[in-house]
């Protein structure tokens, strides 16, 4: 057997192992969500003997999971939209204009450092500010916090995408009568759309799964998000594994559906600038 064939087999085995690590937990979660409590706690088979929707029914009938899911979708959509609107403009300025002392080379990295701070370090000041403005237990508090953190990611990522777009295209548009902003809107943004989608998906996934700020800043189903709602299924004595698995499946659906719709743009965005 040749060395190339051995290498190909090794790569195939490695890919299968990686795929198993990614898929098996998801498969286990889906199958557990349609099992009865007796099968989950007493039986050891992966395949359910009798399919049931009781876990899904209990989420939306005996609990406030619909409110948690709605809050997550609204907070994620609004905060990411605000971050993209503000962050793309800031990133464009850093990519196209020179700041005094060459500061444009350091602004993006400086903003990223804010995002790299552990949330636990700044949670108390943020809580006190939200309390002072009367924003505790509101969606607005989460939207403001998430938008502020996502702006740093948007600026850092979109700056590199804007640098890949030739300046000559904007200059030609401005010669034809466009203003700087019109050229940015008509020429630059459409060309940077794949990068914008990739950045938006990254920010959306991060925001949708965030737990600590939602835990500290909210306290009732009126504002609590899906991760907090899923955590309420863990009791002091036992854990409702069936309901938790159903919550995981339902909670993952919005992000999965969103990713499917923008998959083409996401792949283009992740590979944008990789080939010269």
Q: In this predicted structure, what is the pLDDT of residue 55? A: 87
Report which of residues 266 and 120 the model is more confident about: 120
The predicted model gives 21-50 an average pLDDT of 81
Boundaries of every domain in the chain: 2-54, 64-275
Interior angle at CA 41, CA 37 and CA 42, nearest 5: 110
The average pLDDT across 201-212 equals 90
DSSP 98: P
Angle at 174 between CA 172 and CA 179, to 5 degrees: 155
List pLDDT tens digits, range 167-188.
Answer: 888 888 888 888 888 888 888 8
- Residue 276 confidence (pLDDT): 40
Decide which of 127 and 97 is more confident.
Answer: 127
Evaluate if residue 273 carries a pLDDT over 60: no
pLDDT in tens, 50-74: 788 888 888 888 788 889 999 999 9
- CATH fold, domain 64-275, is MetI-like fold (1.10.3720)
Q: How far apart are the first and last CA of the chain?
A: 37
Rounded Cα gap, residues 272 and 21, in angstroms: 28
**If pLDDT is split at 50, 70 and 90, which confidence band does 270 have?**
low
Cβ atoms of 54 and 32 closer than 8 Å: no
- How remote is the C-alpha of 142 from its chain's centroid? 14
């Amino acid at each position: 057997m040749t060395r190339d064939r051995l290498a190909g087999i090794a790569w195939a085995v490695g890919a299968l192992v990686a795929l198993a690590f990614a898929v098996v937990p998801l498969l286990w979660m889906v199958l557990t969500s349609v099992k009865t409590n007796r099968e989950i706690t007493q039986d050891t088979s992966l395949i359910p003997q009798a399919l049931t929707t009781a876990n899904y029914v209990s989420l939306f009938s005996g609990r406030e999971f619909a409110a948690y899911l709605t809050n997550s979708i609204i907070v994620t959509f609004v905060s990411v939209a605000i971050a993209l609107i503000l962050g793309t403009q800031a990133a464009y300025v850093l990519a196209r204009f020179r700041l005094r002392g060459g500061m444009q080379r350091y602004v993006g990295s400086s903003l990223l450092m804010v995002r790299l701070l552990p949330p636990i370090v700044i949670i108390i000041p943020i809580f006190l500010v939200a309390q002072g403005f009367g924003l505790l237990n509101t969606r607005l508090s989460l939207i403001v916090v998430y938008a502020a953190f996502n702006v740093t990611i948007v600026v850092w990522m979109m700056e590199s995408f804007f640098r890949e777009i030739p300046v000559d295209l904007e200059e030609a548009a401005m010669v034809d009568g466009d203003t700087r902003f019109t050229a940015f809107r008509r020429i630059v943004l459409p060309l940077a759309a794949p990068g914008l989608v990739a950045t938006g998906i990254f920010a959306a996934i991060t925001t949708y799964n965030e737990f600590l700020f939602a835990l500290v800043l909210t306290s009732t189903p009126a504002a609590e998000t899906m991760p907090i709602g899923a955590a309420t299924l863990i009791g002091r004595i036992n854990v409702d594994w069936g309901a938790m698995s159903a919550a995981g499946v339902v909670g993952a659906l919005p992000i999965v559906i969103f990713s499917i719709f923008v998959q083409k743009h996401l792949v283009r965005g992740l590979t944008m600038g990789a080939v010269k």
